[in-house]
Amino acid sequence: MTLEAGTRLGSYEILAPLGSGGMGDVYRARDRKLDRDVAVKLLPEALWQDGERRSRLEREARLLAALNHPAIAAIYGLEEHEGVRFLVLELIPGETLAQKIARGPLEWKEALSLFHQIAAALEAAHQKGIIHRDLKPDNVKLTPEGRIKVLDFGLAKDVSENPTGENLSHSPTLARGTATGVILGTAAYMSPEQARGMTVDSRTDVWAFGCCLYEALTGRKAFTGETASDILARILEREPDWEKLPAGTPASVRALLRKCLQKDPSRRLRDMWDVRVEMEEALAEPSSKPSARPERVSRPALTAAALLGALTAGLVFWSFRRSPLSEGDSLTRFAVELPAGERLRISSQGAFTMVGSIALSPDGKTLAYIATDGVRSWLYLRRLDQLEASPMPGTEGALEPFFSPDSEWVGFTANGVLYRISVTSGERATLSQMPSIPSGASWSEGNTIVYSSSFRLNRLQAAGGTPLEVKRGEAGVSYHFPYFLPGGEDALVSVLTRQRSHIGVLSLESGELNMLAGLGEGTTAAYVATGHIVYGASGRILAVPFDLEKHEVLGDPVPVADDVYTMPGGRAFFSVSKNGDLAYVPGGEVDRNLVFIDRDGRVVPGSAGPRFASHPRFSPRGNLLSIGGGPGLARDIWTMDLERGTLSRLTADDQNIHSTWSPDGARIAYASGNRIVWRAADGSGETEVLADWERTPFPSSFSPEGSLLAFWERNPATGLDIRVVPLQGDRKPIPFLETSFNESYGTFSPDGRFMAYTSDESGRYEVYVRPYPGPGGKVTVSTDGGAEACWSRDGKELFYRRGRQVLSVPVTTEPAFTAGKPRVLFEGDYDFGTYGDAHYDVSPDGKTFAMAEDETPPPTRVNVVLNWGEELKRLAPASRR
């Protein structure tokens, strides 16, 4: 389809053609509505008619529209006008990098200066989990001011065969069906794993970056050939001609190129942060000396290396594709790495960090895990005979995955609802409301589900329905991590008290609980068909033979795996199949510290907090801090004198979370079961009930004069809602935000005229502000996602978090609310809230942030051990049967 100048597509007037490619023609156009020039890219009708390709395009367009970086060309919209579908893109003046290189090689310092901007752009995209997949000089433009703009991030990739006879150096994305997937990329810049149709991550962009840098320095491509097949063969079998690098190229730049162009991705630079740092070090060298030309590697050596690489790749692939294990098979170990910018979701609620993030199917063929970019999270499934994980649609906000006994379904919770989803079809069914964050679930062969919620155990039919209580928690005692024993009548459970943990066998019919001797301090127990109970304790997995009939352990527990990620509340992050395949998160025992950070992200000198902490809150004067948690497994409220460093316990009944200070600093309000209560901050006097609610309320903010208290809750009908309790009169909670979306953590502005909160109405969590009590429209404060809003005490700033980042936004409330541009203050791996509730606080002077920090970095890998059951038999033989 060709458009003439003057043609109108809605508000866009076509001015002139800019070019064409495999994905459609591109035109310069005028946006008459916003009075700016843009690029309009027409989309082929065939792409739009293909439901899968259209869905992918729409999904990627939404994702890429959120990218906001000076070196990334923006996407303004995906539009349709009278049957014509098109992308509206930022119009970038200037020439492409390919055009610049065509005039001759770049001097190394000029190349590194330009490529440093490309690296920064890719790094920003990778932090959001976006991989370019088609980086090449044609997709990089240089503006007249000398600035870089990277184009075509993952968008409009053609999934048809590459036309024969086309110039492959300028071809659109090449796609080819393979046995394991689809190849996406331009031939000359494709990584070896991309060429093989294997899984791709940020390291694929690192490879393409190296190819482009090599081309910029030499004026020729790193890999060439007459056909796409020739090029791919050279990528897989040969090295670039390193002798073509100019004699003046510093050794540091040569080393950088070699690290980018390692054929084995595990030996390649992992991400663009590493690339950018090495470039900065090379540019900073006071007198970069050229290196001697490397000796040419002989063809026999290259052939041997290629054969060895092919053999290694074949063996690795076989380990994923082999047939079911027999008893004679040996152990097979491998790691499942999450893409750059993602991590396993580890959610915290007080001293108990209970929410699971991995599950291995009973047949040992599928791994389920919850991954997050710090703003959103999804349930991913990874078939162990394949090399790539897939996010499951309809699982955003997922927690606590668990499999059906036939491995065909995965149960999970999201935003207060218990679901199940089909592993094969993706069909999702609602089972029940989940009024509280879960801590363990199990599915029996008789299609009964038992789960822990609100410190008690409930069960329901796998088809859905009304849950029935099995075992209710008592003062200081709670029940977690159920795991059905064969037969489905009894389950292993973890019994947690303020001091320690125990493992017992619970009858689901009678509710009778029998504690197992010798397994104290253990949690997350599971049964394996080898006749063992395995459980977590102190960063390890222990095993002990178990008599199913008598419900007795047979001998002493022995350690069978080390370095297992275990949170302060005792949960060990591992899962076993029926026959004993193992999946676990490495990391060891995690300790959580309270740290004090200045606005530049530095630890405040002389400051130190307790080694247990959650939800820190500064008092109005800033001299005290309230925190949740406690030594061991306690869930109580404490106060810390910041001047003297002393701690005082405010509560002692082990069921108190989410504290907030009254405006005068005299009292602290907190959640205690299904009530909001408050007490004098010095611990004197009696506890007074402010609200007795049907569900657990989470207090978040007093109004400045102290007459109102905002809280949020999980409503079975509408999800997360925000309510307000008047502290005068009947104290009946009244709704502030009660919609079909999830709104949480409402906080009053210092003048009481506005409320900031978190909502997922846009499809992800963002921070909003709206007038209190209304009417009036809302203002979106965050960009690219955000949660955990916190006002400065003078009302001139609003802080929030986005993944690892803490941001500040200048705001005004007079005469109306306005917000400026967010600015990143610092970033780090600090504890974050499950539903947008703040797990940090800012001091009254706005200079200090109280944060909860785990000593172990957030996990980004799952280790898998196949045929681990044989190892159990060897390490923990039964003393008697």
Residues taking part in catalysis: 134
The answer to whether the beta carbons of residues 757 and 745 sit under 8 Å apart is yes
The DSSP annotation for 701-726 comes to EE-TTSSEEEEEEEETTTEEEEEEEE
Q: HEC profile for 24-39?
A: EEEEEEEECCCCEEEE
Q: What is the identity of the amino acid at 638?
A: W
Give the residue among 687, 707, 709 at the shortest CA–CA distance from 698: 709
- How far apart (Å, rounded) are the C-alpha atoms in residues 489 and 465? 19
Residues contacting residue 346 through CB under 8 Å, at least 6 positions apart:
353, 355, 357, 567, 573, 854, 858, 859
Whole-angstrom CA distances from 794 to 655, 661, 813, 814 are 33, 17, 11, 13
Can you tell me which residue has the tokens 């409930």?
458
- Rounded distance, CA 834 to CA 397, Å? 9
Classify residue 136 as exposed, middle or buried by CB count within 10 Å of its CB (0-12, 13-18, 19+): buried
CA angle, residues 466, 470, 476, in degrees to nearest 5: 120
Query: SS3 for 573-610, per residue?
Result: CEEECCCCCEEECECCECCEEEEEEECCCCECCCCCCC
Residue 646 in contact with residue 640, Cβ under 8 Å? Answer: yes
For residue 674, the SS3 value is coil
Q: Which residues pair with 433 in a beta bridge?
A: 417
d(CA 753, CA 444): 52
Q: Which element (helix H / strand E) includes 871?
A: helix 868-875
Q: Are strands 409-414 and 708-715 parallel, antiparallel or unpaired?
A: unpaired
**Cα angle value 392/398/403 (rounded, 5°):** 70
* Phi, psi angles (nearest 5°) of residue 19: 165, 180
Token reading at 511: 């509710």
What's the CA gap between 265 and 484, in Å, rounded? 40
Q: What sections of 106-201 are H helices per DSSP? A: 108-127, 192-195
Taking phi over 0 as left and psi of -120 to 50 as alpha, with beta for the rest, 12 belongs to beta
- DSSP code at position 265: G
Secondary structure of residue 538 in the 3-state scheme:
coil
- Nearest residue to 406 (alpha-carbon basis) of 438, 357, 441, 365: 365
The dihedral over CA atoms of 80, 82, 84, 87, expressed in degrees to the nearest 10, equals -30
CA 723 to chain centre: 29
Q: How far is CA 318 from the centre of its chain?
A: 29
The answer to whether 604 and 645 are in contact (CB under 8 A) is no
| Count of beta carbons in the 10 Å neighbourhood of residue 216 | 23
Integer Cα distance of 412 and 399 in angstroms: 6
By DSSP bridging, strand 8-9 and strand 646-649 are unpaired
